[in-house]
């Protein structure tokens, strides 16, 4: 068997095993909670809702509502957010050649936080339940535009200077967000704090189309850019000799990452460390080829955030712990371990 065929066979095997792990994780995520639901009921409700039921329903309408209306969209949102953040983290680590890069690197999350705080404390829900995610998404895009504009103005198009620009802009935006909190109604600040710590409480079937519509085309585009990402990991000079417009390609990847991160953060709040951890976890399985790293990172990111949400819902049951606390704890320990490996 040729090397290329063996490589693709390995990728296929990893994806199949990952898909099975994802199905099991979905079952557990939908099953556990204040009201426990058996696995059979979980999948029975699913098949019944999509018209593939093999028997008469044996569960109550209340359990069907818990599974279909509450837990299933929440689990799917966790998969999309985890996949998107992991995907962006892997891509940013390639174009910045910085193994500690993640989606919050460029102030995207800070911009989303600013938009969400503006909606929660000052503008009111003038678009209904979509007000917070809409303004958060607009804030993420505005932050990205500000970073790119500042980088262009300062002629900071190299990888390290773009990172520094993103950090600086992030501090400025968070200062503005803190001013909004200071000027807002103190009785509503607990809602802001919960959103900034991350959560999946906004998950509804009608809302899932928005992050999905951003994630799928951007994920496909990044996957098609795998050869260029591989070249960027070697160095700007090597990539340029291969005909890659280095500065323009790096900025394009940043914009795609901002679109994905903005859409995810808009519906989940600020969830850190997923984009940092997952690419490092999958590389021992896939090697450094981004043709394999990107899809496997997306799959494992979804699985990781599902289990983080399970922990957030069960560790302090019946209280729903912000998921950002769980990912922050795990991510901080992982970060320390990564530093020890030098």
Stretch 40-54: mean pLDDT, rounded? 79
Q: What is the pLDDT confidence band of residue 295, given thresholds at 50, 70 and 90?
A: very high
Q: What is the pLDDT confidence band of residue 258, given thresholds at 50, 70 and 90?
A: confident
Hey, where are the domains in the chain? 75-340
Write the pLDDT tens digit of every residue in 309-339. 999 988 887 778 889 889 989 888 887 887 7
Q: Which residues neighbour 219 within 8 Å (Cβ) at sequence distance 6 or greater?
A: 83, 84, 87, 260, 294, 298
How far does Cα 286 stand from its chain's mean position?
Answer: 20
How far does Cα 102 stand from its chain's mean position?
Answer: 10
Mean pLDDT of the chain: 85
pLDDT tops 50 at residue 1: no
Question: CA–CA separation, 294 vs 285, rounded Å?
Answer: 12
Closest by alpha carbon to 266, among 327, 219, 183, 199? 199
User: Whole-prediction pTM value?
Assistant: 0.88
Q: Are 267 and 207 in contact (CB under 8 A)?
A: yes
The answer to which of 64-78, 130-144, 275-289 has the lowest mean pLDDT is: 130-144
Q: Which residues neighbour 241 within 8 Å (Cβ) at sequence distance 6 or greater?
A: none
Question: CA–CA separation, 81 vs 59, rounded Å?
Answer: 30
Write the pLDDT tens digit of every residue in 21-37. 999 999 999 998 777 88
Q: What percent of the chain has pLDDT over 70?
A: 94
CATH classification for the domain delimited by 75-340, as one of 1.10.3470.10, 3.20.20.70, 1.10.150.120, 3.30.9.10: 1.10.3470.10
Question: CA–CA separation, 66 vs 296, rounded Å?
Answer: 30
Q: Kindly tell me the sign of the dihedral angle through the C-alpha atoms of 125, 131, 136, 138.
A: negative
Closest by alpha carbon to 278, among 12, 88, 78, 27? 88
Q: Which residues neighbour 134 within 8 Å (Cβ) at sequence distance 6 or greater?
A: 119, 127, 266
As given in the structure block, the two tokens for residue 97 are 């050649």
pLDDT tops 80 at residue 284: yes
């Amino acid at each position: 068997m040729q090397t290329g065929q063996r490589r693709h066979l390995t990728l296929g095997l990893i994806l199949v095993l990952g898909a099975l792990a994802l199905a099991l994780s979905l079952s557990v995520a939908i099953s556990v909670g204040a009201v426990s639901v058996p696995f059979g009921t979980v999948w029975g409700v699913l098949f019944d809702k999509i018209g593939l039921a093999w028997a008469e329903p044996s569960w109550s309408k209340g359990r069907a509502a818990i599974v279909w209306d509450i837990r299933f969209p929440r689990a799917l949102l966790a998969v999309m957010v985890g996949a998107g953040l992991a995907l962006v983290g892997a891509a940013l680590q390639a174009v910045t050649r910085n193994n500690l890069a993640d989606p919050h690197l460029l102030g995207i999350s800070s911009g989303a936080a600013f938009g969400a705080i503006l909606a929660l404390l000052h503008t009111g829900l003038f678009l209904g339940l979509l007000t917070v995610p809409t303004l958060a998404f607009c804030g993420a895009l505005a932050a990205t535009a500000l970073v790119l504009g500042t980088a262009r103005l300062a002629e900071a198009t190299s990888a390290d200077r773009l990172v520094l620009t993103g950090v600086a802009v992030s501090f400025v935006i968070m200062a503005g967000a803190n001013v909004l909190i200071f000027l807002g109604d103190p009785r509503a600040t607990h809602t802001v704090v919960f959103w900034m710590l991350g959560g999946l409480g906004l998950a509804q079937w009608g809302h899932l189309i928005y992050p999905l519509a951003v994630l799928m085309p951007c994920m496909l585009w990044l996957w098609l850019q795998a050869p260029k990402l591989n070249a960027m990991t070697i160095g700007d000079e090597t990539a340029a000799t291969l005909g890659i417009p280095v500065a323009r390609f790096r900025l394009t990847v940043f914009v795609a990452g901002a679109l994905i991160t903005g859409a995810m953060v808009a519906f989940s709040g600020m969830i850190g460390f997923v984009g940092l951890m997952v690419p490092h976890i999958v590389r021992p399985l896939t090697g450094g080829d981004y043709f394999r790293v990107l899809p496997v990172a997306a799959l494992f990111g979804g699985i990781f955030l599902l289990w983080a949400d399970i922990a957030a819902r069960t560790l302090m049951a019946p209280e729903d712990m912000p998921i950002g606390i769980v990912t922050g704890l795990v991510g901080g320990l992982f970060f320390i371990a990564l530093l020890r490996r030098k």
